[in-house]
Amino acid sequence: MGLSDFITLESDKILSEFQAFATQQLPAAAGMDPGELRDHGRQVLAAIALDMRQPQTKLQQREKSLGHAPRTDGRDSSPAEIHGELRAAAGFNVNQTTAEYRALRASVIRLWMESGPTLGRDEVIELIRFNEAMDEALAASILHFAVEAARMRNLFLGVLSHELRTPLATIMASNQTLLIAAKIDKAMPEAAERALRGARRIQSLLDDLLDYVRSGLGEGMRVTAAAVDMGQVCARVVAEVLANHPERSIEFDIVGDATCVCDAQRVGQAISNLLGNALRHGARDAPVVAQVNGSKSDEIAISVRNTGAPIPRATRESLFEPLVRGSDASPGAYNLGLGLYVVREIALAHGGSTGVESEVESGTVFTIRLPRDASTAAVSAFPGMRMN
Amino acid sequence: MVVDDDRDLVDALCELIELCSNWTTVGAYGLADALAQVEQTVPDAILLDMEMDGVDGFATANRLESAACPEHPALFALTGNERLRHAASLDVRFAASMLKPADLNKLLSLLENVPIAHG
């Protein structure tokens, strides 16, 4: 049987093999819907089989090798182009994106050879056509991947700059106020406090940014676990955050046994991010409620609750991801979300998890669940490279 | 009126403007707060953050203008986004626009040229 007919007839078998291979090869594919992975494979394969059946002159072959081939499917975007864009938006890196094509090519050729084709001149030509079509799809996919990745990076930098500029503006305005006040011998302690809060906000953004970039480089987050009283850790963080926001109130309580084994500094950072988040987005006239719950024997849960408008269900899924994916709204339309991303990474690095619930009556609750003893937790398996 | 969802920035700008000029300022911590205040008293000038909690700055400006109607406060845009700062549409829609952090002298000279309706 010819190769293009084989691809069409045996596509289910090829796709099963591709799916198994891709899931094994791609760490990020493990977190991807298998149906989605298979679906993309099917579309790319169908476009390739179609391309192989088109008659091709020597000139057309040469043009294709130079990347000037005309579209044969009449669509605006080929499956390979869409594939590249989707992979960039999903936070894949370039290796992972090309690996799918390697998997597809390997699956097709292995299964075809196993079917025992007579390898005459026509079959060799078909094999060449197949490889040309694969190369073209791969090139199209990578090009669109690069464009999309650059767009995401620009968006990221735009939002980062916006988030740094607001506290910077506060610091500058407050310091100008202090300078003028000093000349007229007027004390304005509130302006000094505001400037300090602004500087701390920039510091915490940069800390989160550093963790995010490290995670993107695949270094992982190192956790140094030791026996601690989570009640004390949380009480210390609450006191620190309150010192920065003297006008707000945070209620704090401990349920059950709060002793555990974890990285107190990291978990403290996560709690601090959650409290900062709750103070920024929650209703200002109601207290933020923090709780350490050690009533289960094998886990310790830390939750932070604020009242205020609930978070829409659709947005909740992407809260822990930096930037909302695939949106082309203006940078001001969303937060960078590095704070929550870091919270999740800290939980994962401990072998734990994060969750969020948001209802009108009960408010918004973020919860970090950690194993009671995280001393065996490995370095976090970072889900993918987000900076591309 | 200074409108931003960052309270510290609102307070800092209000304090600074009052210290450096004869303007009386009010702060609004977000769109809802700004609308409520404009319905009570229309300010002569509004310094508006273009990026408040997911609300588009142009839409915010429209809502503030309809709330202020029939009066027309001078609208100044304040943005943390460099690309938006260079967008032509911003200068058409607003009396002037500034990138955060706003230059104090520029801000004061803009305010000096605002016609005062309420005295």
Residues A37 and A62 in one domain: yes
Contacts of A334 in chain B (CB under 8 A): 54
- pLDDT over threshold 80, residue A349: yes
Q: Does B13 touch chain A (CB under 8 A)?
A: yes
Residue B64 · residue B1 · CB < 8 Å: no
Please check whether residue A385 lies inside any domain of the structure.
no
Q: Which residue is closest to B10 within chain A, CA to CA? A: A170
- What is the domain-level CATH number for residue A366? 3.30.565.10
B36: pLDDT confidence band, cut at 50, 70 and 90?
very high
Q: Is A102 on the interface with B (CB under 8 A)?
A: no
Same-domain pairing of A203 and A266: no
- Summarised one tens digit per residue, pLDDT across range A37-87 is 788 888 888 888 888 888 877 777 777 777 666 655 555 678 888 888 877
> What per-residue confidence (pLDDT) applies to A221?
75
Residue A380: predicted pLDDT: 41
Asked whether residue A218 is domain-assigned, the answer is no
Does the predicted interface ipTM exceed a cut of 0.85? yes
**Residues of chain B found within 8 Å of residue A164, distances taken between Cβ atoms:** 80
How many Å lie between the alpha carbon of A81 and the closest alpha carbon of chain B? 27
What does the domain layout of chain B look like in residue ranges? 2-111
Q: Domain tally for chain A?
A: 3
pTM of the complete model: 0.72
From chain A, pick out residues whose CB is under 8 angstroms from the CB of B6.
Answer: 166-167, 170
What distance in Å separates residue B70's CA from the closest CA in chain A? 30
My answer on whether A142 and A259 are in the same domain is: no
Residue A129 included in any domain: yes
For residues A15 and A138, membership in a common domain is answered with yes
Question: What mean pLDDT is predicted for residues B71-99?
Answer: 85
Fold of B2-111: Rossmann fold (3.40.50)
pLDDT computed for residue A335 by the predictor? 62
pLDDT, tens only, B89-110: 888 889 999 999 999 999 999 9
Which of the two residues, A265 and A90, has the higher pLDDT score? A265
Coil, helix or strand at residue A127: helix
Tokens of B27: 């702060």
CA gap A245, A50 in Å, rounded: 64
Is A298 a member of any domain? yes
- Please check the confidence at residue A6 and state whether its pLDDT lies above 50: yes
Classify residue A379: in a domain, yes or no.
no
Q: Domain for residue A9, yes or no? A: yes
Task: Provide the terminal-to-terminal Cα distance of chain A, rounded to the nearest Å.
Answer: 41
Kindly determine whether residue A177 and residue B100, on different chains, have CB atoms separated by under 8 Å: no
The reply to whether A376 falls in a domain is no
Residue B81 contacts A, CB cutoff 8 Å: yes
Using the predicted structure, report yes or no on whether residue B54 has a pLDDT greater than 70.
no
Could you list the residue range(s) of the whole structural domain that residue A175 is in? 155-212
Pair A81, A132 in one domain:
yes
Residue A160 has pLDDT above 60, yes or no: yes
In a shared domain, residues A255 and A205: no
Nearest one of A92, A74, A75 to A83, comparing CA atoms? A92
CA distance A347 to A358: 20
The reply to whether A8 and A138 lie within a common domain is yes
User: Could you tell me if A12 and A140 lie in one domain?
Assistant: yes
